[in-house]
Amino acid sequence: MPKVVSIGTYLPPWERRGRRVGGPDEDALTMAVAAGRVADPNSAARHVVMVSRNFPLLEGGNGAVLLAGLSLPDDVPVTEVLGGAPAVLDQIVTGTDGTLVIAVDDSDSQAGSAALLLGGGGAPVTEVGRVSRSLPLQTRRDDGSKRAYVDPRLQREMGVKASLKKLALQENTTVAAVAGLKANQLQSAVNVSAAVEDAAVSASGIIRVIAAAVESGILGVVLAVEQATITAAELGPGSVRICRDEAAATELPAFRTAPGAGIPISLASYARAFEPKLRWEAAVFDPRPGIDEAPLFPPRVRVDNAGNLASDYRLEPLPRTGTIYTQATVRIPVPDLPSPYTIAVIQLDDSPVRVLLKLTAAPVGETTIGQPGSVVLRRIASRTGIPDYGYMFWPSKQAVSVTKGVAA
Amino acid sequence: MRSVAMVGAGMTSFGEHFDLGIKDLVPMAYAEAVSNVDKGIDKGDIQAAWFGEISTTDGFPSGILADTLDLTGIPVTRLENACATGNDAIRHGVMAVASGMYDVVLVVGADKVRETESSATFWEWAAMNRDNAWDYPLGLVAPANFALHVSRYLHESPATKEHMAMVAVKNHFHALNNPKAQLRYEITVEQALAAPMVVDPFGLYDCTPQSDGAAAVILVAEEVAHKFTDHPVWVRGVGLGLDRVMHQHKPDMTTFPPTVRAAEAAFAMAGMTPADIDVAEVHDCFTGVELINYEDLGFASRFEAYKLIEAGETYVGGSIPINPSGGLKAKGHPPGATGVAQCYELFNQLRGQSENQVDGARNALAHNIGGPTAASAITILSVDKG
- The ipTM estimated for the assembled molecules is 0.95
Interface contact A335-B122, CB threshold 8 A: yes
Q: What is the four-CA torsion angle of B79, B81, B86, B89, rounded to 10 degrees?
A: -40
| Whether A336 contacts chain B with CB within 8 A | yes
Q: What is the pLDDT of residues A69-94, one digit of tens each?
A: 999 999 999 999 999 999 999 999 99
| Whether B143 contacts chain A with CB within 8 A | yes
pLDDT value, residue A144? 87
Crossing angle of helices A205-216 and A85-94, rounded to 10°: 60
| The one catalytic residue among B92, B172, B333, B367 | B333
Q: What is the mean pLDDT of residues B145-159?
A: 98
Q: What is the pLDDT of residues B72-114, one digit of tens each?
A: 999 999 999 999 999 999 999 999 999 999 999 999 999 999 9
Quick check: is B247 catalytic? no
Chain A residues lying within 8 Å of B137, measured CB to CB: 263, 265, 380-381, 383, 388, 390
Distance CA B7, CA A169 (A): 99
The model's pTM is 0.95
> Is residue B187 helix, strand or coil?
coil
pLDDT value, residue A408? 64
Distance CA B205, CA B326 (A): 13
Do A207 and A101 form a contact (C-beta atoms < 8 A)?
A: yes
For all residues of chain B together, what is the average pLDDT? 97
Instruction: Give the residues across from A374 on adjacent strands.
Output: A321, A394
At A201, the pLDDT band (50, 70, 90 cuts) reads: very high
Chain B residues lying within 8 Å of A261, measured CB to CB: 117, 119-120, 123
CA angle B46, B49, B52 (to 5 degrees): 150
A362, B125, B141, B204 from B198: Cα distances, Å:
19, 18, 10, 6
Smallest CA–CA distance from A386 into chain B, residue = B137
Interface contact A381-B137, CB threshold 8 A: yes
Q: Mind telling me how many Å the CA of A75 is from chain B's nearest CA?
A: 24
Cis check: omega of the bond before A340, within 30 degrees of 0: yes
**pLDDT at residue B161 above 80?**
yes
Residue A15: count other Cβ atoms within 10 Å of its Cβ: 16
Q: How far is CA B33 from the centre of its chain?
A: 17
The beta-carbon neighbor of B198 closest among A270, A332, A337 is A332
At a CB cut-off of 8 Å and minimum separation 6, what does A42 contact?
none
Alpha helix (H) residue ranges in A231-320: 267-279
Strand A354-358 relative to strand A341-348: parallel, antiparallel, unpaired? Answer: antiparallel
At A404, the pLDDT band (50, 70, 90 cuts) reads: confident
Quick check: is B83 catalytic? yes
A28, B29, B89, B345 from B107: Cα distances, Å:
55, 10, 7, 15
| Whether A353 contacts chain B with CB within 8 A | yes
Distance CA A32, CA A99 (A): 14
**pLDDT at residue B127 above 90?**
no
Domains and CATH numbers, chain B: 4-116+209-382 (3.40.47.10)
Strand A238-246 relative to strand A3-11: parallel, antiparallel, unpaired? Answer: parallel
Strand A220-226 relative to strand A175-179: parallel, antiparallel, unpaired? Answer: parallel
Distance CA B170, CA B180 (A): 17
* Exposed e or buried b per residue across B56-78, where buried means at least 16 C-beta atoms within 10 angstroms of its C-beta: bbeeebbebbbbbbebeebebbb
Instruction: Give the residues across from B17 on adjacent strands.
Output: none
Q: What is the pLDDT of residues A91-133, one digit of tens each?
A: 999 999 999 999 999 998 999 999 999 999 899 999 999 999 9
Q: Mind telling me how many Å the CA of B291 is from chain A's nearest CA?
A: 18
At A2, the pLDDT band (50, 70, 90 cuts) reads: confident
